[in-house]
Amino acid sequence: MKEISAKEVQQRIENGEKLNLIDVREVDEVQAGHISGIVHIPLGLIKFHIHELDNNKPYIIVCRSGARSGQATQYLESQGYDAANMTGGMLAWEGEVE
């Protein structure tokens, strides 16, 4: 499974890079604070929304600590998607949140 650090994601965003971020936390967690520009798809619903994703784009998967995003990353990879788990999740995030 591919992984990317929260710090690297933050640096890429600050450098103006447009990233495809999917937050797999629950609604209340996302409402409490999330990275700007995320797509919110709760982990339990990812298989129902996979058709909305572009198989030609890389995705970075985010959750609270990195566990649920790891599950989502493995699932997406098994379906042929280019996905990377943001290690440490939002607990490791030091950038701005909405």
CATH number at residue 36: 3.40.250.10
* Residue numbers of the domain that contains 33: 2-54+62-92
Nearest to 80, CA basis, from 41, 53, 61, 60: 53
In a domain, 66, yes or no: yes
In a domain, 38, yes or no: yes
Residue 62 sits at φ, ψ, to 5 deg, of -125, 140
In a domain, 98, yes or no: no
Q: Model's pTM, two decimal places?
A: 0.96
* Confidence (pLDDT) at 7: 98
In a domain, 8, yes or no: yes
In a domain, 77, yes or no: yes
In a domain, 82, yes or no: yes
73 contacts 2 by C-beta, under 8 angstroms: yes
* Confidence (pLDDT) at 83: 98
> Distance between CA atoms of 31 and 25, rounded to whole angstroms?
10
Per-residue pLDDT 10s for the chain (98 aa) are: 999 999 999 999 999 999 999 999 999 999 999 999 999 999 999 999 999 999 999 999 999 999 999 999 999 999 999 999 999 999 999 999 99
- Give the catalytic positions in this structure: 63
* Confidence (pLDDT) at 50: 95
Domain tally, the chain: 1
